[in-house]
Structure 1
Amino acid sequence: MLHLVFVEAALEAVPPGIIGHPSVRRNAKRRKKPPGETLLNRSLHHPVMDRIPDGHKRGRPDITNICLLEALGSPLNREGRLSTWIHTFGGYSIKISPEARLPYDCNRFNSLVEQLFVHGKVPPGDEEPLMKLAKQGLENLKSDISPTLTVALTSHGVPSDLEDVASRLASEEVPAVFIGAFPHGSMAKETLALADEAFSIYPESLQAWVVTSRLIYGYEKASGKTD
């Protein structure tokens, strides 16, 4: 089974330091929610993004949404051979059920994640939720997975053919892959330190969902399950 972890995901509630900003309050009022229970979203909160640390990497829930749609819709996931996790910029882990059928509409996805941050799981009263939230460092999440090999896919990694990387992962008993689910910048050194190796599978930067789809298909081929 391949363990896929979307790291430093730009998926978080509005941080306390900017709750009073007009753009935040305006959106919260329109949606009839407390400001702190809405998602940070660059498209809505652009005027205040430069006031928060690493603002260029935050406030893009759509990236995680698209990546999850790619992963959960794959044959690998449908065959029960993919485990999907999110680790957010704010230090939360989110376990995604392989049975989850997430909305394609970003607004509906954002509402679902807002519910997750309030209640800790979605649906709130379900014993087998589609998404489950925990305050957990990436190091502890990796320990829970206990991978035999952890690979980070980053444009700053060692240039490598996707086929070679996929074959290496397919040969492992418990392979794990980090993919950055943020819009700009590089993986933090603390994140890269938790990977055994870091590879770049294309000469230029690729969008996270493109990396996701290529990785999964490459892994399917390398493990002999796809013609």
Structure 2
Amino acid sequence: MVRPYAVKGGVKRKKREEVYDDEEIEATISTLENNTYKEEGKDKEEEEEIDRDETTMESELAGIPIAPSSSSVKKSKSGIVFVLERASLEVGKVGKTYQLLNSDEHSNFLKKHGKNPADYRPDIAHQALLAILDSPLNKAGRLQAVYVKTEKGVLFEVKPHCRMPRTFKRFCGIMLQLLQKLSITATGKREKLLRVIANPVTRHLPLNSRKIGLSHSSPKLVQLKEYVNAASDDMNLVFVVGAMSHGKINNDYTDDFISVSGYPLSAACCIGRICNALELKWKIL
């Protein structure tokens, strides 16, 4: 009897399974792990190179102050921190949209809800931030941080290299976005230039710091130039300035409470005097 041929499409022969020793398996796993570690190391090196390129590009952008060199940072042992208290930054729903309330545009709306329009002055915080961020003190790298606390108790941080909008309308748009989304990210970067942080502000201040509150109602009238010159070079100075139209700041956490003039001054004017006195002390031209 003739042996029948195998029909096409039938059961294929099983391939012989390769058998490996335990030593060979361990060697294979170790080589794979080494390769993955090498690839991860390459990826990290590439990411570091990209970060270096981004930092160099950021320092060359127009309008953004260049970061101080490493030599100047080593020499400077102390810095300055500004805290703007009671800033009038409140969001309200006017019609169908949310807006940052101010006395010029929303006077009728505020009166209708039984509020005093004179209390809603976000322009004071805008002028104060411009005075701080545009100062030679900041461009020299001596400004460590800026904190703003609103009348409602919301605390947020402003990075020293942040470029604040020049026009009041754009400033209101930025503040509205910040209070709704809790942070503002730089264009094309992952860095948060403005972000809402947890209270109280004292948990974010440097350890070796002297907290100084400013108010016209303070009985201690000082000559600001002599006052900052008497401070230690190793001490960080924290100036607490009010960003409201009237009233005084909360001085519960301040070490000293002073007045820099016999006349009531605006927040931007007080900040200008502080920056000028410190620039003369640290010889910043």
User: Normalised by the shorter chain, which TM-score bucket?
Assistant: 0.7 to 0.9
Change (3 A) 1:92 1:124: farther
Query: Once superposed, what is the RMSD of the aligned Cα atoms?
Result: 2.2
Partner of residue 193 from structure 2, selected from 130, 139, 146: 130
- Distance in 2, matches of 1:192 and 1:75, equals 28
Partner of residue 104 from structure 2, selected from 30, 43, 63: 43
Counterpart of 1:9 in structure 2 is 87
Counterpart of 1:226 in structure 2 is 284
- Distance in 1, matches of 2:204 and 2:231, equals 19
Change (3 A) 1:8 1:169: farther
- Distance in 2, matches of 1:152 and 1:194, equals 9
- Distance in 1, matches of 2:103 and 2:228, equals 34
Partner of residue 67 from structure 1, selected from 128, 131, 137: 128
Partner of residue 118 from structure 1, selected from 173, 176, 180: 180
Secondary structure in structure 2 of the residue aligned to 1:43 = coil
Change (3 A) 1:163 1:184: same
**Residue 76 (structure 1) shift:** 1.1
**Residue 94 (structure 1) shift:** 1.5
- Mapped contact 1:77–1:98 kept (Cα < 8 A): yes
Secondary structure in structure 2 of the residue aligned to 1:95 = strand
Q: Kindly provide the CA deviation profile for residues 31-73 of structure 1, in whole angstroms up to 9, marking residues without a partner as x.
A: xx3x3xx212111222325824xx4773211111111111111
Change (3 A) 1:151 1:93: same
Counterpart of 2:262 in structure 1 is 203
Change (3 A) 1:89 1:57: farther
Which amino acid in 2 is paired with 1:95? E
Q: Kindly provide the CA deviation profile for residues 151-207 of structure 1, in whole angstroms up to 9, marking residues without a partner as x.
A: 0011012111111232245645222110000111222xxx11111111111101001
- Mapped contact 2:107–2:117 kept (Cα < 8 A): no
Percent of aligned pairs with the same amino acid: 24
Name which structure has the greater RCO, CA cutoff 8 Å, separation 6+. 1
- Distance in 2, matches of 1:57 and 1:177, equals 25
Partner of residue 192 from structure 1, selected from 251, 254, 258: 251
Q: What stretches of structure 1 move > 4 A for 4+ residues in a row?
A: none
Counterpart of 2:39 in structure 1 is none
Change (3 A) 1:226 1:124: closer
**Residue 120 (structure 1) shift:** 1.0
- Distance in 1, matches of 2:232 and 2:164, equals 27
- Mapped contact 2:137–2:284 kept (Cα < 8 A): no
Point out the structure with max Rg over C-alpha.
2
* Count of residues in correspondence between the two structures: 201
Q: Kindly provide the CA deviation profile for residues 107-148 of structure 1, in whole angstroms up to 9, marking residues without a partner as x.
A: 0000011111111111389531221113x33xx211221452
Which amino acid in 1 is paired with 2:204? D
Change (3 A) 1:181 1:170: farther
Q: TM-score, normalised by structure 2?
A: 0.65
- Mapped contact 2:184–2:193 kept (Cα < 8 A): yes
